[in-house]
Structure 1
Amino acid sequence: MAPARDVAALRPRGRNPVSLIALLLALAAERGLTHFFHLRELRWLDRYYDWAARTVGRGGQGAVAAALAALVVPVLPLVIADRLLGSHLLGVPQLAFATLVLLVSFGPRDLADEVDDYLAALERGDRGEADRRAKELLESDAAGRGNSLDAAVEEAIFVQANNRIYGVVFWFMVLGPAGAWLFRVSDLLRRRAAFEASREGAARHPFGLALARVHGWLAWLPARLAAFSYAVAGSFEDAVGNWRVAVDRAASDPLDRSERLLARVGAASLQPSLADVDPGRLDVATARGAWRIVGRATWLWIAAIALLVLVGEVA
């Protein structure tokens, strides 16, 4: 029995049936818990960033090391809790813990709700409300964009799906609950850094740039898996062609590269289905089509994860 236990100990924390069940439960529960999403804003992390920026992030030297240290502090308690829970009581406490961490790590806002609200505003012809909803997706001002707003929202849906869903799922399956939480914390801290720089009208501090760089590293692989799933879920040939273009025009920042790849591949995977759409309905069709591609891609992720878990159990 010892060799079997040794093999089990080497298995990644996320790759087991409990994690698959937790993932399915979290994805299913998320749509029914919209009234509690304000709890995912995690405002205390803003204060934590302010403290970290004043202490470990004061100097320009060693900014990446400071960013990594700032991420370890909120993640370490989850690592300890996950280890302590283990497989006690048939794994039920571990299942509940993993599901709760996933629910907190998704988001912070629900992408499906934001897309639905944006589409509803367009259907009513309420351009002001549509611009406000688009701003939530774009995380920037939507007013004055004109016809380019349709394409910007379409691309934002593909980018946000990786940031809010796929990145969390990937690191959950690799490192367990601590991995999902690590991805969300890195995202929230780098957003706080960007907000502070924008509010002060100054360039981002090296500590903030380092946080963005670390998040870009964490997003790199799930972004490429997400882009591939968009290609499979839509027009594969068009998506692959735009993948090559995105690589040729790659930005220097890892997060920018990933987001540009997601936007280009996602938009290309949808393009053939928009050929016969009435130009007056193109804004609705692009957003709805982008969300449809994301929905298909999510099912592909679930199927692939289930297959990996099954193969791992058989092995």
Structure 2
Amino acid sequence: MTLFALIFALLLEQLRPLGRGLRRLAPVAGVADGVAQRLNDGTVGHGRIAWLLLVVLATLGTAVAYWLLWELQPALAFIFNVVVLYLCMGFRHDLHSFNEIHVALRLGELARAQSLLADWRGGRYHEASASEVARLSIEMALVAAHRKLFGVVFWFVILPGPSGAVMYRVARLLFEAWGERRDAEFGGFGVPARRAFEAIDWLPGRITATVFSVVGNFEDAVYCWRSQAVLWPDRSSAILVASGGGALGVRLGMPVHESGGIVDRPEMGLGSEAGVDHMQGTVSLLWRALLVCLFLLVLLAAAGWVGR
């Protein structure tokens, strides 16, 4: 059931990508904001309680709903799997944004590419060069592919029903809403959300980076992973950017023009300067990685390890 549910969810996302509200899980985000307003006293302890309250309840609730539907009618449980997994992914939108930027750069429409990148990533990039736009887009695509596809699939396979996918998706939502905040007013409330997501994402992130390495330039990907990932400020995405850059043979990171200034960043990856050809290579890398993951799931299903 797991493999077929995944295939159906992927097809559904390709045919009917999630709308803006569904991509951001607006109801869950609203609950998260309400919980933060009521419980945030700036301490790590209250942040831990709030995180457990939302993530554990969402995960257990999904598992119980799946079990009840399975007892009632397995076909209903299968449909529940597909729908929930579909709601937890959402990579199709990011791939669409990436492809639009790719086309704009290929046509020489730098201003349009800068505007599209701003809409996708946030910030302003009117001073960014074509290489900087390509570089930032590739980084975004590598991280989004993991967080909105491969990471979701990993936990979907591990936990019963779609509860693992829900756990990962809600944990990512809280990481983005709470864990990335550094302002004094928010205090340490978001620290548990950041640490918890890093822990949850530790193994799937390394599996995704390994797959990137296998389907790309393996030697360079592993070298960049081992030597450069420690330099990246965002620990949860470091190995994805490093291994992806090495696998593609492109230099990522490095200083970029953003929001009227220059953001200094370490160099990641190896090879030539980022351009439209590397963006096309990124799409190919991601599709190859997906096919490898599906092939592994087929092997696991044949061995009887996956099949609920």
On whether the aligned pair clears a TM of 0.5, the verdict is yes
2:91 touches 2:145 (CA, 8 Å); kept in 1? no
Unpaired stretches in structure 1, ≥5 consecutive residues: 1-17
Q: Does 1:300 align with 2:292?
A: yes
Distance 2:36 2:48 in 1: 12
Query: What is the CA distance between 1:99 and its match in structure 2?
Result: 0.3
Question: Which residue of 188, 208, 216 corresponds with 1:226?
Answer: 208
Provide, for residues 175-202 of structure 1, a one-character-per-residue CA deviation record: whole Å limited to 9, x for no partner: 130110111111122222368x48xx64
Work out whether residues 41 and 189 of structure 2, in 8 Å CA contact, stay in contact via their aligned partners in 1.
Answer: yes
The CA deviation at 1:287 is: 1.5
Unaligned runs of 5+ in 2: 251-269
Q: Which residue of 2 aligns with 1:170?
A: 154
**1:229-272 alpha-carbon deviations (Å, 9 max, x no partner):** 00111111111111111355476xxxx22311110110110117
Q: Where does 1:188-267 land on structure 2 (aligned, <5 Å)?
A: 188-193=173-178, 197=181, 202=184, 204-249=186-231, 256-267=234-245
Cα shift readout 1:72-124 (whole Å, capped 9, x = no counterpart): 233332121011122654x2111100000011000276222122211122233
Residue deviations 1:127-151 (CA, integer Å, cap 9, x gap): 2321232235545443333333322
SS in 2 for 1:99: helix
Distance 1:302 1:26 in 2: 13
Q: Residue type of the partner of 1:291? A: V
Residue 186 (str. 1) matches residue 171 (str. 2): yes
Question: How does the TM-score come out when normalised to structure 1?
Answer: 0.81
Q: Does 1:74 align with 2:62?
A: no
Is the Cα contact below 8 Å between 1:67 and 1:207 reproduced in 2? no
Equivalent pair of 2:300/2:306 in contact (CA under 8 Å): no
Residue 159 of structure 1 aligns with which residue? Answer: 143
Is residue 2:246 matched to residue 1:268? yes
Partner secondary structure for residue 34 of structure 1: coil
- 1:12 maps to none
Deviates more, 1:216-225 or 1:124-133: 124-133
Higher helix share: 1
Q: Which residue of 2 aligns with 1:6?
A: none
1:57/1:67 contact within 8 Å kept: no
Secondary structure at the aligned position of 1:142 is classed as: coil
Contact 1:106/1:165 (8 A) holds in 2: yes
**Aligned residue identity for 2:34:** W
RMSD: 2.9
Tell me the equivalent position of 1:21: 4
Structure 1 residue 313, shift from structure 2 partner: 5.8
Q: 1:166 to 1:108 in 2, by over 3 A?
A: closer
Structure 1 counterpart SS, 2:15? coil
Match of 1:85 in 2: 69
1:93-172 counterparts in 2 under 5 A?
A: 93-107=76-90, 110-146=93-129, 147-172=131-156
Q: 2:229–2:238: 8 Å Cα contact kept in structure 1?
A: no
